[in-house]
Chain A
């Protein structure tokens, strides 16, 4: 009895004490039968529970706590499992019920809300005993007498404690799985059982299956006929039906390896990747829109789908396939495919409607993380870690702490589009930096030359102070004298007047009603900078208008001189959501209505922002979070509009007479001088007149060189990287455990990590709480994909099996925990897992093993006797018939009609009318006609709010939720859809054309051809007769429609 401690050991046939099949058979048939059942079936749990408790209470209760020397072992061996099994579900963790934590010695003695719980030596005075004795605890499940007795004896003996604290997860109980849970145990070497029937078993898979069949008195079916086999194989591997020629060739191929050749050919087909990628996308809930309120399309999410197809076709080792999806961007940052693979991490919904409240925002983020953790842990580990967000997992040995460890490991991932690594772009960026530097030097030389000229001009002007003038023009990259024109006097930057904006001799006239001036993009990068403008306001009550702004072309990021936005009557530096700026606390403006004032805002490289008014400091300069950089080609200057599109309070009422933009921080002296000389500007004529011929020549050549550089820069800027919707990486900082999952109740700091319960891999990733995303995700990905992680291999083996047989060896492919299904063939599962690893994680080799088995090749013929024993066919006495999946139905219709556009990869097709209406993107189904729409359904643009009417009636799942196991339903709406949708009617016509093309106009041969195309067989005489009669009365397209709707077309035997 000793080794039967809960399900864990029972389901783990490689346990040293269990060893091999022989020992396995020692278990009662009752237990073995229950192995294959889900925990949901409580009767089987009850059986286990009895075994467990029997083992715990193996001896008479009197034996315990009698001898001081064995107090500790008695506690650990007998009482701790009892407490764990009966009490700790409620009385442990951060928020134990009634404040009573029974997992720690000190807390147990201290008691909870109702006072001290234990009086050593005095059961009658101990609350614990009172509750237990009166059957008040455990609620609704009073303890059996022997167990009560153990508690009593323990208290009588002085309540000695053993290992502290008691680990509630240590053993599997009748309510939950513990560390001994079967799926958490290491993979062992498995002996292939001796096959009872050497003749028919083709590979070890069969030996395992046969052994189990024999136990149940069942027999497998003989091999299916070749027509059935080829149809089955095609659908299983590539999701499409074979052509009649392929069928005939296979049927007539007498070579002993005819089937094997076919398996290899199909696995090598690029359609294999398409079909199996569809399965994968179900599991990772890949959708191409955000979901939630807006449901905006993700137009660059499709590369992930193609990556999956390609990766499967190339048979990338499964562990690498997964590492790329978890951390490809960090493992191989220069590899575009690796970046695309992280589309997995952001395949789910994402809410972009952001509330003002921080708690609400944080809750949304935690909700999203929970969804992500659910998909990551279920997909790769078959564990529902997401269930441990608010409390320890109710069924599996996963603590709330571990949930937050994994949350921390994934916290650096954010949704969004990113640039794909592109060597050409990288080169261009390098070149840009170099050209930019050259341009700077050139500007300096030019500036020095022109400074001399300005000095000379000033010498000729009649001004009182000639000494301090020219410096003010230093580093000017654009200058406007609006009283003359809207022209940029320095670089010739073109600009456009918008709305009622006008230029006249007073300057740029802005009426606050849609009027503003906008320049073309700047040809240089801007970081450190100075904005300067002379402005007169129409009134002082106005709020929020922008005088002069530098903004990204989308209007989202900007730095600006703004009047009265945050503080009425005050000048401010504006920035997107005041993210970098605050009030200067300057004096309220009082003069700017009567006469114009000079406003200057200086942005220092270190983030300091200072303002000046009429040459004097305005308020107090402050340090902002950081300086915003604006890149060339993507940045423009605005006058009269704060940023973005005209509207709200963004527009200024007033007149701007002059403005200057510098690419450095001007000094206070320079600003004072500029104020004094009103941004003195020198015309070309004036400057030329005072330069010598040689000076003019060198100036000319400098300017030509500048022009060359500028145009080079412009060209380089056109080289842009490709965008993809994939994981954005940021360093998330420190994560906290959240009590009850509530963002307003953070508890301790949590380090990024994995799970502790999986044997063979340590969940301690040795990461600091604030480690960068790079370290977190790479280590986490390595932990998940570790060869020693038994779940990682078991789960994928089961998935592959599941799709080939319609039912997994564990029939809950996303859940290998206590609530999931029991494994029907645990030895087979582990043998396949070990084989997979041995074959360097080659999924194709796994497919091959399965497909080459007699188990896969057997007939689907029902056997009434076997039906009685095993109607669900969990022991695999036949190959269960399967309904073709939604996408394959559509693809097959296209294929038999000769319309399938078999282009692999690429952008995909969109068969919805996508329109934006009042804040939401809607997707209305269409039935567009054209070759580009006749591609396999996996290439369909899949918005969450845009499901396909035909596909969804055939159980194509909601892309918002992970679907490890599609339903297969039958409904009248499905019948209506397939009979009536214009797509099927159109394809019926085209199928008729194809049939005629291939078979001529004689109705008998048409019928035969149609059957061969759709069913891979000739019609039976009776069928031929009926079909022909129908055809002659109603036409071939009508017959084709009937065939496309028939059960035979939709099912695979």
Chain B
């Protein structure tokens, strides 16, 4: 075990025989920290958390991980599976008919109009022949990379509880999101960047704002860090006003000296050591963040691939490219939001009024960037150990949200059946899993709940979802609550 911290500093610590001896300190460090690398110890481990996963990826995972990192494209508002990834020819035949059901379908707004056919034509794509509509022409070219799940079901048809469930497994506020769990379970492969970065839609944060990337009851360091699109990407990355370089350097030196002296006087304390170390890491972060967010070194071809050349696609293209760069630097989880809050006029996928218009506009913003991201990751060999998630809180109804005798243009929320996809390492590619009924109203074959989905994501990362736990108020809490079955059929 080495202590570069002390080797690099001019500490008098090693020579100070009046205080705890250096050997004592070493021996304390070993017993006190039970073999955890001292320099990685940023989290104060209370006795409670003693069973928490260790932070180094090699020892942390329960089985060999298939992927190391995750990008999550999170569509806010509810993507219509019927117009994108779940082809229902029956709707064409039954367009304008009443959906035959025993009782009136329960919907969010209570209006159950007549069935409506898909507004975007479907085609079989790639070698796999997956049916994907023309809503996503670019993503469709990547069909052979995708692992489609067409039998998702949610427990709420209310946006925010459903979004919470998509990200935390629970419908309520106060639970940690997937990114926070991964940060907690796997830590970060770099010291210089946060382990969980959020790239919000440039048009605004999703409804409920920062609650969407909360650490919940996990320690605060696991919450998502939203990158700002203007100024330094991270708040308080640099001093709030100009401070000369020499003062800045001298300040750090003096602070370090004070802290070292304090550590000697008070005796070994992992917290104090970690704080000394945190200042070093902060300095590294000040270098790393501007470096990773500076896209000027990317080639014109790469930028074109993502869609930098169009005003419509450029904002999401930037986020996708930034996500790739963050992953390259060792960030564990990058979450990209497509869509903001729910008021009118809409800036998300909530097509109550007119799915065609709404989805056309939203898809145009992200289709090429997401496809570009997949291609770029593939080209760089990163897709083999990266997981790309593309999901939405729920789908939309096969009937329109209109008077019962009308075919309207909008569709209501549908928690009973919808589609998501994954791509990347450890998955069977170019397949679809599960199915909804002939109308696309309910998942009927191999239904997948969010808990199953989360269990599968964790599995790909080498984590047994029943064993990634954090004690909180009586329960060893899990992302998957007390449920969750890994979908082995989609794993390679």
Interface of A toward B, CB cutoff 8 Å: 38, 40-41, 285, 291-295, 348-349, 351, 353, 355-357, 359-360, 363-364, 367, 371, 374, 378, 383-384, 387, 395-396, 807, 811-812, 814-815, 817, 819-821, 860-862, 864, 867-868, 871-872, 874, 881, 883, 917-920, 922-923, 925, 927, 944-947, 949-950, 952-958, 960-965, 967-977, 979-983, 985, 1020, 1022-1023, 1026-1027, 1030, 1033-1035, 1038-1039, 1041-1043, 1045-1048, 1050-1051, 1053
Contacts and interface: CB of A to CB of B under 8 A. Distances in A.
A977 B236 contact: yes
Contacts of A953: 220
List of 6 A-B pairs having minimum Cβ-Cβ separation, nearest first: A356-B110, A918-B343, A384-B474, A982-B240, A961-B174, A960-B173
Contacts of A874: 47
Contacts of B11: none
A805 to B, nearest CB: 13
A1046 B262 contact: yes
B235 A292 contact: no
Contacts of B20: 862, 864
Interface stretch (B63-71, B154-162, B298-306, B444-452): B154-162
Given A293-B207, A1026-B257, A976 B286 contact: yes
B2 interface: no
A367 B172 contact: yes
B463 interface: no
Interface residues of B, number: 99
Contacts of A348: 173
B255 interface: yes
A1047 to B, nearest CB: 5
B235 A949 contact: yes
Given A356-B106, A1046-B255, 8 more contacts: A355-B108, A355-B157, A811-B48, A812-B48, A867-B28, A883-B271, A981-B236, A985-B239
A293 B108 contact: no
Nearest to A881: B269
B89 interface: no
B384 to A, nearest CB: 30
A387 B475 contact: yes
Contact of A962 (B158, B277, B286, B473): B473
Contacts of A952: 220, 223
7 contacts: A293-B159, A864-B20, A956-B220, A961-B216, A985-B239, A1047-B275, A1051-B266
B285 A970 contact: no
Interface stretch (B118-126, B246-254, B314-322): B246-254
Interface stretch (B38-46, B79-87, B423-431): B38-46
A871 B47 CA distance: 10
Q: Which of A867, A955, A1026 has the most CB of B within 10 A?
A: A867
B53 interface: no
Contact of A1047 (B220, B267, B276): B276
B53 to A, nearest CB: 14
Interface in B337-373: 340-344, 347
A292 B475 CA distance: 24
B68 to A, nearest CB: 21
A1015 B345 CA distance: 56
A698 to B, nearest CB: 59
B267 to A, nearest CB: 4
A919 B220 contact: no
Contact of A918 (B216, B267, B347): B347
A396 B263 CA distance: 43
Nearest to B340: A918
Interface string B256-293: 01110111001111011011111101101110000000
A955 B239 contact: no
Contacts of A378: 473-474
A870 to B, nearest CB: 10
Nearest to A1044: B255
Contact of B341 (A919, A925, A957): A919
Contacts of B267: 861-862
Contact of B161 (A292, A384, A387): A292
Contacts of B101: none
Contacts of A964: 473
A291 B475 CA distance: 24
B210 interface: yes
A920 B342 contact: yes
Nearest to A949: B235
A917 B204 contact: yes
A975 B282 CA distance: 6
B436 interface: no
Nearest to A921: B209
Interface of B: 20, 24, 27-28, 31-32, 42-44, 46-48, 51, 106-111, 155-161, 171-175, 191, 194, 204-205, 207-211, 214-221, 223, 225, 234-241, 243, 246-247, 250-251, 254-255, 257-259, 261-263, 266-269, 271-272, 274-279, 281-282, 284-286, 340-344, 347, 471, 473-476
A948 B204 CA distance: 19
B291 to A, nearest CB: 15
B71 to A, nearest CB: 21
A1039 B172 CA distance: 45
Contacts of B282: 972-973, 975-976, 979
Contacts of B240: 927, 980-983, 985
Given A360-B156, A384-B473, A1033 B250 contact: yes
Nearest to A350: B173
Given A384-B474, A815-B474, A963-B217, A807 B46 contact: yes
Nearest to A371: B172
A357 B108 CA distance: 6
Contacts of A360: 106, 108, 156-158
Contacts of B251: 1030, 1034, 1038, 1041-1042
Given A349-B173, A1046-B255, A971 B221 contact: yes
Contact of B266 (A881, A960, A962): A881
B278 A974 contact: yes
A958 B215 contact: yes
Nearest to A374: B473
Q: Which of B171, B221, B342 has the most CB of A within 10 A?
A: B221
A807 B191 CA distance: 30
A965 B470 CA distance: 13
A360 B47 CA distance: 41
Contacts of A1047: 258-259, 262-263, 272, 275-276
Given A360-B108, A1034-B247, A944 B46 contact: no
B221 A969 contact: yes
Nearest to B223: A952
Given A819-B474, A922-B209, A980-B236, A1050 B275 contact: yes
A357 to B, nearest CB: 4
B399 to A, nearest CB: 14
Contacts of B205: 920, 922
B128 to A, nearest CB: 37
Nearest to A918: B343
B473 A821 contact: no
Nearest to B108: A355
A672 B373 CA distance: 77
Contacts of A960: 172-174, 211, 214, 216
Contacts of A976: 234, 236-237, 282, 285-286
Contact of B160 (A353, A965, A1022): A353
B344 A918 contact: yes
B183 to A, nearest CB: 11
Nearest to A370: B172
A1033 B247 CA distance: 8
A985 B476 CA distance: 41
Contact of B207 (A862, A881, A919, A1045): A919
B211 A819 contact: no
A952 B215 CA distance: 11
Contacts of A807: 46-47
Contacts of B236: 949-950, 973, 976-977, 979-981
